[in-house]
């Protein structure tokens, strides 16, 4: 039931309280669908969770509005089925409008920070050899180009994209607007398109 039906009889404080209750209620409902969820998690509404039975989240998880978590066991009308694994560690903070898409394996370590609009994916529409190029991209099956692993205490800046088959080492910082297409060693600062290491953190 929409809380807007009650607007004529609620004052401003009551409306704000009702919105907070709605937000927490929706997240608590979705948490039931997850394979694993730790203590002290919080996600702002709105959010989208798909394939929750393949998603594991650790303790003290916090996410802003517009979060999208997708674990694809199947896609559209294709008969192929996957067993994806999307694992998020402890003390992970995700700001607004971030999107993680997994059909194989995406692992995010402990203490990771996401800036706004971060995108992480282990998959593409269409295979590596140009299969189904006669189809519009949205109608092509999705394929993994390798797992994504993000180490502990990594900071991903605003608008960072992390592409399939990449590994970002512990304590690394990825600058705003970078596109990660290859491995980034631990204790590195990387920027650019594609992302390149510019400094080692000592």
User: Residue written as tokens 């669908």?
Assistant: 33
Judged on CB neighbours under 10 Å (0-12, 13-18, 19+), 70 is: buried
Measured distance CA(143)–CA(134) in Å, rounded: 17
Task: Assign residue 192 a region (left: φ > 0; alpha: ψ between -120 and 50; beta: otherwise).
Answer: left
Residue 26: count of CB within 10 angstroms of its CB: 14
The angle subtended at Cα 33 by Cα 27 and Cα 123, nearest 5°, is 100
55 DSSP β-pair partners? 86
Assess contact for 67 and 88: CB atoms under 8 A. Answer: no
**Which residues belong to the active site?**
125
Burial of 65 (0-12, 13-18, 19+ CB in 10 A): middle
């Amino acid at each position: 039931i929409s809380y807007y039906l009650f607007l004529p009889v609620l004052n401003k404080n009551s409306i704000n309280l009702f919105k907070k209750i709605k937000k927490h209620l929706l997240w608590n409902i979705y948490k039931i669908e997850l394979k694993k969820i730790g203590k002290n998690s919080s996600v702002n509404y709105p959010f989208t969770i798909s394939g929750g039975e393949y998603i594991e989240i650790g303790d003290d998880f916090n996410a802003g509005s517009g979060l999208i978590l997708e674990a694809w066991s199947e896609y559209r009308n294709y008969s192929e089925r996957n067993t994806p694994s999307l694992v998020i560690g402890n003390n992970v903070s995700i700001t607004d409008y971030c999107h993680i898409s997994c059909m194989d394996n995406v692992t995010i370590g402990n203490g990771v920070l996401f800036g706004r609009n971060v995108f992480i994916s282990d998959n593409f529409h269409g295979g590596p050899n140009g299969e189904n190029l006669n189809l519009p991209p949205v109608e092509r099956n999705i394929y993994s180009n390798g797992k994504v692993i993000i180490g502990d205490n990594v900071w991903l800046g605003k608008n960072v994209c992390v592409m399939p088959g990449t590994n970002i080492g512990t304590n690394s910082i990825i600058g705003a607007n970078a596109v990660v297409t290859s491995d980034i060693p631990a204790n590195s600062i990387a920027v650019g398109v594609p992302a390149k290491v510019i400094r080692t953190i000592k």
